Amino acid sequence: MSKVALIGSGSWGTALAQLLARKGFDAVMWTRRQELADEVNTRHTNITYLSDAALDARVSATTSMAEAFEGAIAAVFVTPSRFLRATVEAAVPFIHPDLPVVICSKGVEGQSGLLANQMMAEVLGEPERIAVLSGPTHAEEVVFGVPSGAVCACEDEATATFFRDLFATDTFRTYTSDDVVGVELCAAFKNVIAIAVGVSYGMGYGDNTAAMIITRGLAEMSRMVVACGGTALTCMGLAGAGDMVVTCMSQHSRNRRFGQYYLAQGKTLTDFEADTHMVVEGAQAARSLAVLQQRHGVDLPLTDAVRKIIWEGSDPIIEARVLVDRPLKDEIYGM
């Protein structure tokens, strides 16, 4: 029996731990909270994040990074993006130079504009052993074995294939890609657009509006991916269109719920996080993507609107009017 270290104990980390445990791995989650570690180890639940799931006996938790990494054949980072650098830096003493690492966090580092794999390579070195995993994979469904699919991206084919095979099950289909930039940016973008879709529903608009926002969001995503050196076609795959659709349309999506039931109702990010104890990755991405937007001169009107509503207190009605009043142009541009 082999061991996998999962650095993070939220809903996605717990769902991946359950998936790996059902394949016969010892899935050890690192958490900052002793009470959560005790709950996982004694009650085999994670009530805060996945209240309905009974965890496999092979899922365990620890507050010790040394214990989590000891004897592991791979490390899975599922820390929220804004805490990722600090977490990786804390893990450096325990990560063997040859240990394969996969990032499941979704976002761009704030001031630097680095993608998660770029930041991790800066801290750890050996970028060829660092992969990313993304796709339409709500934890609430993956944990129960609902059929899902994801893509493992890495510049090194062997590492991408290693993680493809590590995660693959009868109900979790995995694919490989060498477009790390594209997969990373798709993962960040879809959360922003999901907030916009949520706001539109919260304002009383319908499915036509949501479909328009999703497809225009894909256009924004594609422009940024191409500007940063990725491949536009990646935006039509699991990490792009697949994840965009499920994140925008599912009630499992915290980003959509945040837009629909909080921003559109005049509530704030602080209100949401206090109520749910969850991080809204799209809120951070809306701000951090501005660094890349300015660097590459990419037109991102939906992202701009979401950022202004969240971080500048702009009225959603005003931002909707700004979008409607934009000059008409070709559907596909900037690529």
The pLDDT tens digits for 93-117 are: 999 999 999 999 888 888 788 999 9
User: Residues 3-54: pLDDT tens digits?
Assistant: 999 999 999 999 999 999 999 999 999 999 999 999 999 999 999 899 889 9
Q: What is the mean pLDDT of residues 197-211?
A: 97
**74 by DSSP, 3-state: which?**
strand
Is residue 302 scored above 80 in pLDDT? yes
User: Residues 248-289: pLDDT tens digits?
Assistant: 999 889 999 999 999 999 999 999 999 998 889 999 999 999
Nearest to 247 by CA among 299, 196, 199, 191: 191
**7 by DSSP, 3-state: which?**
strand
**For residues 203-230, b (16+ Cβ closer than 10 Å) or e, as one string?**
bebeeebbeebbebbbbbbbbbbbbbeb
How confident is the prediction for the chain on average, in pLDDT?
95
Q: C-alpha angle with apex 245: 240 to 248, nearest 5 degrees?
A: 115
The predicted structure's pLDDT at residue 26: 98
The predicted structure's pLDDT at residue 257: 96
Strands 3-7 and 172-177: unpaired
Long-range contacts at 160-163 (CB < 8 A, ≥ 24 apart): 160/131, 162/74, 162/100, 162/131, 163/74, 163/100, 163/102, 163/131, 163/133
- Interacting residues of 41 by C-beta distance below 8 A, sequence separation 6+: 60, 61
Tokens at 208, concatenated: 């036509």
Q: What is the mean pLDDT of residues 192-217?
A: 97
* pTM of the complete model beyond 0.75: yes
Is residue 208 scored above 70 in pLDDT? yes
User: Residues 228-250: pLDDT tens digits?
Assistant: 999 999 999 999 999 999 999 99
Strands 130-134 and 148-153: antiparallel
Is residue 1 scored above 80 in pLDDT? no
Strand partners, 27: 4, 59
- Residues annotated as catalytic are 190
Q: In the CATH hierarchy, which top-level class contains the domain 181-324?
A: mainly alpha
User: Residues 171-196: pLDDT tens digits?
Assistant: 999 999 999 999 999 999 999 999 99
| Architecture of the domain spanning 3-178 | 3-Layer(aba) Sandwich (3.40)
The predicted structure's pLDDT at residue 105: 87
Say how far apart CA 180 and CA 157 lie, in whole Å: 11
* Domain ranges, ordered by start, for the chain: 3-178, 181-324
Q: CA separation (Å) from 91 to 57, 64, 75, 124, 245?
A: 25, 10, 10, 9, 34
Is residue 332 scored above 90 in pLDDT? no
